[in-house]
Structures are given as structure tokens and as C-alpha cells.
Amino acid sequence: MNKTIRRAAVFCLLMVLALLVRATWVQGYEAKALADDEHNRRNTIAQYAQPLGDIIVAGSPVTGSKGTSGGDLRYKRTYTQGELYAAVTGYSSQAYGATQLEGIYSDVLDGTDDRLKNPADLITGRQASPGNVLTTIDPGVQKAAYEALGDDKGAAVAIDPKTGRILGMVSTPSYDPSKISGTDNGDAWKKLLDDKEKPLVNRALRQPLAPGSTFKLVVAAAALENGLYGSVDEATESPDPYTLPGTRTVLRNENA
């Protein structure tokens, strides 16, 4: 064997070894990352291959699933009183992903969460049946908050002070998640994105706002608790305007 052929053979052998190493790396170390990649359409196909579990409010589902005709996504999400509960459920869309409870608990709702599997499922790799997500939302509180906001832009959250349970959570303007749950809802999606009132923004959770005068309750409670004042009727030493400590910034009471 002459030198040229020997070099070519060694080069080919090295290329084969490199290919084997790369294939082993992909199969052994990158397999899960590739399988879980958001652009892997197989995940979406598997997710919508069966009806999803439901989000439950006061014992009744506010979500559902219905079969589709054609395509490789067999089911799509439906919502009961979608606008009323959108701030709680979020949306689960075949085209645009999932948000809120739909996104946070997607592995429970589609049955891929290991907590839903029995020992046999863990060994065989069989997917468990979809699970439901139970909420602490009170339908009466939710409806009252939604109707109180009406056409105004804002948010309302009702919390049980003893347990921390969320009894109601509303963001307005709202939207109907059913209108964007399929693959053919491009116009509805664009309309929501272009809406200057931003209905897709959950103002109860994702809209940073200064607390304003509502924080005065916290300050007053701290002052009373620490004995700085004897009662809520006692006059306070609150200069107007007030110069912030260590600065030359003057803070005026705009409501005075």
C-alpha cells in the first residue's frame, strides 16, 4: 500500500470515528434536549393526540377539548366562559404555545408528568392519562370582579388572608382563548397583538405598577404596630413638601 492510499485510509477511519462519537453524543447526551425542544413538532403532535386534562373551578371544568378534522393534531382546546377565566387559565394554542395554568401545568394536563404514572408506566415508558388542575377560584368572586371592572382597563385579585388561596383573578380587557386555540386562527391572533389595549397582557401578574396610595395602609399599620402613634386619629408629623432623606428631591402631596 503506497503512502497516499494509507493516508486516505487513515483519514476515512478518523472521519468514521468522529461520526460515531458525534452520533453517540447526540443519542446519549443531547437526546432529551432535542426531544424537549420547543421547535420539535412531534411534541405538539403528541400533546394534542388525545383530549387534555381540564382546569377545574369549584368542581366544574372551565376547559375542554374537541376533535379536529384533518391534519396531524387530533384535538384542540375549548373554553367555557373564556373571557371570564382567561387571566386564570391562559391559553393553550396549537400554534402559539401556552400561558398561565395551561403553560405552567402543561405536563400534568397532557399526561407527561411523572407524578401521574404508576411504577409500570415508569418502566415501560407508557404515557399516563391526562390529569386535571384544581383551582381555588370562587366563581362568584371571579364574576363579581370581572363585572366590577367592566369596560375599564385594570386587574383585580381576591386572596383569602387566612390561607393565601386565590379566590378570584381578573384582567381587563380580556379575550376568549378559544379563538386562538387552533392552527387557523392567524387573524384573531394578529388582532389581539395589534390591539392597543393589550388584552393578552395579564395585568394581575405581569403589569408592574407603582402601588400609589394603597401602600399608605402598610405604612400606617407599621407605624401603629411600632407604637409611633396611638391611634389612626392622631395627627402625624408629615411636612409638605417632604425632602427625601439624603437627597435634595422634594416630594409634594399632589392630592392636598
The answer to whether residues 172 and 153 touch, using CB atoms and an 8 Å cutoff, is: yes
Reduced to 3 states, what is the DSSP secondary structure of residue 122? Answer: helix
Active site residues: 213
CB-neighbour burial class of residue 91 (10 A; exposed 0-12, middle 13-18, buried 19+): buried
H or E stretch covering 156? strand 154-159
The answer to whether residues 87 and 171 touch, using CB atoms and an 8 Å cutoff, is: yes
